[in-house]
Amino acid sequence: MSSDSTSPLTAPSPDSPVYQAARRARAAAAELAPLPRAAKDAALLAIADALQARTDEIVKANAEDVARARAAGTAESIVDRLTLTPERVLAIASDVRDVVALPDPVGEVVRGSTLPNGIDLRQVRVPLGVVGIIYEARPNVTVDAAALCLKSGNAVLLRGSSSAYRSNTALVEVVRDAVAGAGLPADAVQLVPGESRDSVRELMRARGLVDVLIPRGGASLIRTVVEESTVPVIETGTGNCHVYVDADADLGTAVEILVNSKAQRPSVCNAAETLLVHRDVAGSFLPEALAALARAGVTVHADERVLALAEGSPATVVPATEEDWETEYLSYDIAAAVVDSLDEAVAHIRRWSSGHTEAIVTGSQAAARRFTQLVDSTTVAVNASTRFTDGGQFGFGAEIGISTQKLHARGPMGLPELTSTKYIVTGDGHTR
């Protein structure tokens, strides 16, 4: 086999601005890698201070993006995510200070031993190198991602939504000035040049220059990056999460976990999208559950058995189609089905889940054990809401995203997930 023939994947040309930015990032990454924590923390504090000092210019640049978005008839929820107020800029600066407080993963000895021949072997954490982030219209991600990459010794190439281009340009200018002022290479943090989709395509083809791409955003963005990138990708975020109410569940607890999983914040990836109920408790659980979902404003997309038990319920209940089982609503909607057994619930989850988070509510130790063994998702929750799958909740301090793939990182990714390792072999002239 030869790769010279029909490969549709071409590297960006050396003249491309994206390629040049990636080469500058690579050079910056080489400078960052050996830096001690103190140097990186000083730069992060300088970033936080600069964000506060230059809030006015950031908010002004953002106002232009917001005005354009409104003029283009953008949905108000998206405009809200795009908007930066002085308070929000202060919150972003505060998040950067939180990253300062986190331990530096670089240099951590993951394992180490003296081999039988006397060689000392150590496996130590090192930065990944150059990290590319492709994301949607959330300007806070610009600074969050830059701070996490800097702390872990990585250079970052940021490719946000073109609708946030002015905001991101202003934020990155502030960050780069602060980084340079702290004596670190400004090119550690760069916006990917160009607003067109070609620049995204070039970033996805910059294998050898970019070590990993992390797409953050909707399912179609992530799928595109996963399918078209030759740079290794960490897939994030799609969450078709399930709550399974077992025959042995405490039904009051089950209602609380269900409503919290679905409705506490429906727009996020760890919100529940499907309810599965064991047939033995369907008759006693569903009336109470449907009433609680109705109070939370949730529409239920129900299979036939749930429909039959929903008669007279105050809830809005509509018949489910097969599409409902695979839908990540991200809204006040939930699919619901009755299952004959725990194993049928597991089979449903295996077939339809995106592998993010599944919860079981049960009082049975055997059921909890079987469910956690058989369900293969980033997170399996026993008697707890699906909403706990989160770097902050897990105590990681911050997260760059939630990986739904199995390679490299799975689940919430903190600073250690932004590192690789290398082995250091120390001998006294050892040969084989």
> Among candidates 181, 207, 204, 203, which has minimal Cα distance to 190?
203
Using CB under 8 A, which residues numbered 209 to 228 contact a second copy?
Answer: 211-212, 220-221, 223-224, 226-228
Q: Considering CB under 8 A, how many residues would be counted as binding a second copy?
A: 83
Does 109 interact with a second copy (rule: CB under 8 A)?
no
Q: Which is nearer to a second copy, 60 or 423 (CB)?
A: 423
- For the residues of 48-92, what is the DSSP string, one character each? HHHHHHTHHHHHHHHHHHHHHHHHTT--HHHHHHH---HHHHHHH
For the chain, the C-alpha Rg in angstroms (whole number) is 24
Q: For the CB of residue 233, give the shortest distance to a second copy in the complex, in Å.
A: 8
What count of residues does the chain have?
432
Using CB under 8 A, which residues numbered 343 to 362 contact a second copy?
Answer: 350, 361
Using CB under 8 A, which residues numbered 161 to 200 contact a second copy?
Answer: 197, 200
What SS3 state is found at 89?
Answer: helix
Q: For the CB of residue 250, give the shortest distance to a second copy in the complex, in Å.
A: 7
Amino acid symbol at 384: A
Does 421 interact with a second copy (rule: CB under 8 A)?
yes
Q: Judged by CB under 8 A, which stretch of 68-76, 168-176, 322-330, 423-431 contacts a second copy?
A: 423-431
Torsion of CA 168, 174, 177, 182, to 10 degrees: -120
Annotate 92-102 with b (16+ C-beta within 10 A) or e (fewer).
bbebbeebbeb
Task: Say if residues 370 and 393 touch (Cβ distance below 8 Å).
Answer: no
Site mask, a second copy, residues 41-80, x = CB under 8 A?
A: ----------------------------------------
Q: How far apart are CA 147 and CA 87, in angstroms?
A: 19
φ, ψ of residue 247 to 5 degrees: the values are -60, -30
Q: Which is nearer to a second copy, 212 or 317 (CB)?
A: 212
Q: Which is nearer to a second copy, 86 or 232 (CB)?
A: 232
Does 113 interact with a second copy (rule: CB under 8 A)?
yes
Q: How far apart are CA 65 and CA 202, in angstroms?
A: 25
Residue with tokens 């319920």: 313
φ, ψ of residue 338 to 5 degrees: the values are -95, 135
Q: Judged by CB under 8 A, which stretch of 56-64, 184-192, 324-332, 421-429 contacts a second copy?
A: 421-429
Which of 101, 308, 366, 407 touches a second copy (CB under 8 A)?
407
Q: For the CB of residue 410, give the shortest distance to a second copy in the complex, in Å.
A: 5
Which of 237, 338, 387, 399 touches a second copy (CB under 8 A)?
387
Distances (CA, A) of 420 to 124, 131, 397, 406: 8, 12, 19, 16
Q: For the CB of residue 4, give the shortest distance to a second copy in the complex, in Å.
A: 8
419 C-beta neighbours (distance < 10 Å), count: 20
Q: For the CB of residue 265, give the shortest distance to a second copy in the complex, in Å.
A: 8
Q: For the CB of residue 425, give the shortest distance to a second copy in the complex, in Å.
A: 4
Which of 184, 384, 398, 400 touches a second copy (CB under 8 A)?
384
Does 398 interact with a second copy (rule: CB under 8 A)?
no
Which of 1, 38, 72, 75 touches a second copy (CB under 8 A)?
1
Does 267 interact with a second copy (rule: CB under 8 A)?
no
φ, ψ of residue 214 to 5 degrees: the values are -120, 105
